[in-house]
Structure 1
Amino acid sequence: MSEEELIEVPERTVISTVDEFHDAVEALALGTGPVAVDAERASGFRYSQRAYLIQLYRRGSGTFLIDPPAIEEFAPLQSVIGDVEWVLHAASQDLPCLREVGLDPRTVFDTELAARLLGIPRVGLGTVVEELLGVHLAKEHSAADWSTRPLPASWLEYAALDVELLIDLRDSMAVLLKEQGKLEIAAQEFAAVVAKEEKAPLAEPWRRLSGIHALRADRHLAAARELWLARDELARESDTAPGRLVPDSSLLVAARALPASRRELAALKQFSGRASRSELDRWWAAIERALTTDDIPVQKRATDTLPPPRSWSDKNPEADARLKAARAALSAVSAEHDIPLENLLTPDFLRRIAWNAPDPLTIESVSDGLRELGARPWQIELTAQPILQAFVDPHQSPENPVEVDS
Structure 2
Amino acid sequence: MTDAQETAADTSLRTTGGAPPDDGVTGVTADRDPIALLEPREGIPPVVADAGALTDVISAFARGTGPVAVDAERASGYRYGQRAYLVQLRRQGAGTALIDPVACPDLTALGEALDGTEWVLHAATQDLPCLREIGMQPSELFDTELAGRLAGFPRVGLGAMVENVLGYVLEKGHSAVDWSTRPLPEPWLRYAALDVELLVDLRDALEEELDRQGKLDWARQEFAAIASAPPAPPRKDPWRRTSGMHKVKRRRQMAVVRELWEARDRIARRRDISPGKVLGDAAIVEAALTLPANARALAALPGFGGRSGRRQLVDQWQEAIDRARALPEGELPQPGQTVSGPPPPRAWADKDPVAAARLSAARAAVSALAEQLSMPQENLIAPDTVRRVCWEPPTVVTAESVDAALTALGARPWQVEQVGPLLVNALRAPAEA
Interval containing the TM-score (normalised by the shorter chain): over 0.9
How has the CA–CA distance of structure 1 residues 110 and 50 changed in structure 2, closer, same or farther, with 3 Å as cutoff? same
Q: Find the aligned partners of 2:138 and 2:369 in 1 and give their Cα distance.
A: 32
RMSD: 1.9
Identify which of 5, 8, 15 aligns with 1:5. 8
| Shift of residue 73, structure 1, vs aligned partner | 3.0
Q: Find the aligned partners of 1:353 and 1:55 in 2 and give their Cα distance.
A: 42
Specify the code of the residue in structure 2 equivalent to 1:115: G
Please give the per-residue CA displacement for 1:127-175, whole angstroms capped at 9, x wherever unaligned. Answer: 0111110001121111111111111111111111111100111111111
Q: Find the aligned partners of 1:84 and 1:197 in 2 and give their Cα distance.
A: 19
Specify the code of the residue in structure 2 equivalent to 1:138: E
Match of 2:197?
164
Does 2:394 align with 1:358? yes
Q: Find the aligned partners of 2:306 and 2:400 in 1 and give their Cα distance.
A: 56
How has the CA–CA distance of structure 1 residues 16 and 4 changed in structure 2, closer, same or farther, with 3 Å as cutoff? farther
How has the CA–CA distance of structure 1 residues 336 and 56 changed in structure 2, closer, same or farther, with 3 Å as cutoff? same
Q: Find the aligned partners of 2:304 and 2:258 in 1 and give their Cα distance.
A: 16
| Shift of residue 2, structure 1, vs aligned partner | 5.7
| Shift of residue 226, structure 1, vs aligned partner | 0.7
Match of 1:401?
none
TM-score by length of 1: 0.93
What is the number of residues matched between the two proteins?
A: 397
TM-score by length of 2: 0.87
Please give the per-residue CA displacement for 1:187-246, whole angstroms capped at 9, x wherever unaligned. Answer: 100001111222211332211112223222222111111111100000100111111111
The gaps in structure 1 that reach 5 residues or longer are 398-406
Identify which of 57, 75, 98 aligns with 1:24. 57
Which consecutive aligned stretches of 4+ in structure 1 deviate over 3 angstroms post-superposition?
Answer: 1-4, 269-278
How has the CA–CA distance of structure 1 residues 367 and 3 changed in structure 2, closer, same or farther, with 3 Å as cutoff? farther
Identify which of 74, 91, 94 aligns with 1:41. 74
| Shift of residue 270, structure 1, vs aligned partner | 5.1
Is the 8 Å Cα contact of residues 61 and 94 (structure 2) preserved in structure 1? yes
The gaps in structure 2 that reach 5 residues or longer are 14-40
Q: Find the aligned partners of 2:52 and 2:388 in 1 and give their Cα distance.
A: 53
Identify which of 345, 352, 355 aligns with 1:316. 352
Match of 1:338?
374
How has the CA–CA distance of structure 1 residues 341 and 299 changed in structure 2, closer, same or farther, with 3 Å as cutoff? closer
How has the CA–CA distance of structure 1 residues 120 and 264 changed in structure 2, closer, same or farther, with 3 Å as cutoff? same
Q: Find the aligned partners of 2:173 and 2:360 in 1 and give their Cα distance.
A: 41
Mapping 1:268-307, distance limit 5 Å: 268-269=301-302, 271=304, 277=311, 279-294=313-328, 295-307=331-343
| Shift of residue 279, structure 1, vs aligned partner | 1.0
Specify the code of the residue in structure 1 equivalent to 2:335: Q
Task: Report SS of the residue matched to 1:38.
Answer: strand
Task: Report SS of the residue matched to 1:76.
Answer: helix
Identify which of 364, 385, 403 aligns with 2:421. 385
Task: Report SS of the residue matched to 1:68.
Answer: coil
Q: Find the aligned partners of 1:329 and 1:22 in 2 and give their Cα distance.
A: 54
Q: Find the aligned partners of 1:165 and 1:154 in 2 and give their Cα distance.
A: 18
Q: Find the aligned partners of 1:45 and 1:350 in 2 and give their Cα distance.
A: 38
Between 1:75-84 and 1:111-120, the stretch displaced more is: 75-84
Identity of aligned residues (%): 51
Specify the code of the residue in structure 2 equivalent to 1:75: T
Does 2:250 align with 1:231? no
